[in-house]
Structure 1
Amino acid sequence: MESAKQAFNYVSETVQGAASGASKEANKEVAKDGNVPIGTRATAAKDALSDKFEESGHDSKAEAHKKVAKA
């Protein structure tokens, strides 16, 4: 039962990590776009950094759940 829970948590964290990664990439594109106002670009750059931290956190949690599920 615990392995199934850990497997579910692994999938959940993997999906959340992928969503954060997609958001990060979208924000990076906005930050690089010279046709966007500077304030919007700065906010997008800040959001991309935040998304990167979230992505890393979810990826780390997913790996931990994967290891526990295999044990």
Structure 2
Amino acid sequence: METVKNAANYVEETVKGGGSEASKEANKNVAKDSDAGLGTRAGAAKDAVKDKTDAEKHDAKAGANKEAAKH
């Protein structure tokens, strides 16, 4: 039963990591947009850094759950 739970958590964390990665890329594009205001660009850059951290966290959790599901 624990293996099934770990597999489900792996899928969940993988999806969350993908969402964070997509958000990071969108924020990077806003940060680079010369038509956007300075405050908007700065906020997007800050959010891109947070999204990158979130994606790495989710990827690490997914990896741990994948390994746990093997046992």
Report the alpha carbon displacement of residue 62 of structure 1 after superposing the two structures with TM. Answer: 0.1
Task: Tell me the equivalent position of 1:43.
Answer: 43
Q: TM-score, with normalisation over the residues of structure 2? A: 0.99
Partner of 1:22: 22
- Distance in 1, Cα, partners of 2:29 & 2:16: 20
> Which whole-Å deviations, capped at 9, do the CAs of 1:2-35 have from their partners, x for residues lacking one?
0000000000000000000000000000000000
Structure 1: unaligned runs, 5 residues or longer: none
Q: Distance in 2 between matches of 1:46 and 1:57?
A: 17
Q: Give 1:40 deviation, angstroms.
A: 0.1
Coordinate RMSD, CA, aligned: 0.3
Count the aligned residue pairs.
71
Deviation beyond 6 Å, 4+ runs, structure 1: none
The answer for unaligned runs of 5 or more in structure 2 is: none
- Sequence identity percentage: 59
> Equivalents in 1 of 2:70, 2:15: separation in Å?
19
TM-score after normalising by structure 1: 0.99
